[in-house]
Structure 1
Amino acid sequence: MTQAYDTRRTAVLLVDPYNDFISEGGKLWPRLEPVAKEVGLVDHLRTVIASAREARIQVMFVPHRQWEPGDYDTWAHPNPTQRGIQERHSFARGTWGGEFHPDLQPQAGDIVIHQHWAQSGFANTDLDFQLKQHDISHVVVVGVLANTCIESTSRFAMELGYHVTLVRDATAAFLPEMMHAAHELNGPTFAHAILTTEELVSAFEAART
């Protein structure tokens, strides 16, 4: 698939690159590891972010809420994922698991979005505001999980009028079936492009010339 990007109006949204998700020893890594290793998740995330920076494309970190004591305890309707976080203390603030992967750290010029509580990086955050302030029209959404935060953030982006790109091998999920649903069943209903990392990097390189 051929896709063109204007580097001045494109942003890469890196969703939830926490150690608990994508690093050896992370609380959720054992569930993610088979699919993550099959697709080369971390290597491809490194490649996407490096390519975006080389092309001077805006990088935005879109992190989940870092768990703190008391989170969700008095909520009327916490969802199953939030209940799991409540039990496991995933992404706990002040812990190694709640830090970003060492190879995926914010650099000068990157923007770290306010933390999202559930699955969409837009809900109750400043993501839409930041995109508009930087005159962004196209978003490339990478990170985890393919069938939850990536899909929810991407769907919300489409609803707000952004051009949305998914990257098959720069995301992962707990099961192959979830990846299939994300890219073969659900993704085509809202994404404008579904690429591989290689295809995306080629498009970014073309945008630089």
Structure 2
Amino acid sequence: MANSQDDGVATGRAVFGGGCFWCTEAVFQQLRGVTSVTSGYAGGEGESPSYEQVCGGDTGHIEVVDIRFDPQVIRFEDLLNVFFATHDPTTLDRQGHDVGSQYRSAIFWQDDAQRETAERVIDALNRQGIFDAPIVTRLYPAAHVWPAEDYHRNYFAQNPRQGYCHAVIAPKVAKFRKQFVDQLRSR
């Protein structure tokens, strides 16, 4: 598992693209063992892309969340289970009304163990028929994550009454909280 040492504590890293990073960030921030979640862009051309450039579809970047976690508390496979349960991994280049390659379902594996775990989980979900269609989530090797602009960070927490947050993110977070109640961090 991709780990680094920071003050003697092992830290894992996971990078997921699951549609709008506002939604994905709001979910993963609530998990016990997740130490940070940063919205950003990865996998495309050009350095330091802006939100407007990424949304224009010309950079090839994907909206992602860069998750740091304590592998003693939560496993990469647990993060994958949350990832697949909280977005539609069967739609190509879209999540709901958000359409474009920047919204594709993606996992940027950090090492061979993560790649193998992701392949195994995807295979198991497909064999079990969990979804009505095959999973189209793309697996990519680790890539640089360009942090999103400041106004995107903690977006749902800072804007819960904004229209998109109220109509899309709040119901997704409520469903997630019910399904993963045993993995939520204490308030």
Q: TM-score, normalised by structure 2?
A: 0.28
Q: TM-score, normalised by structure 1?
A: 0.26
Structure with greater proportional helix content: 1
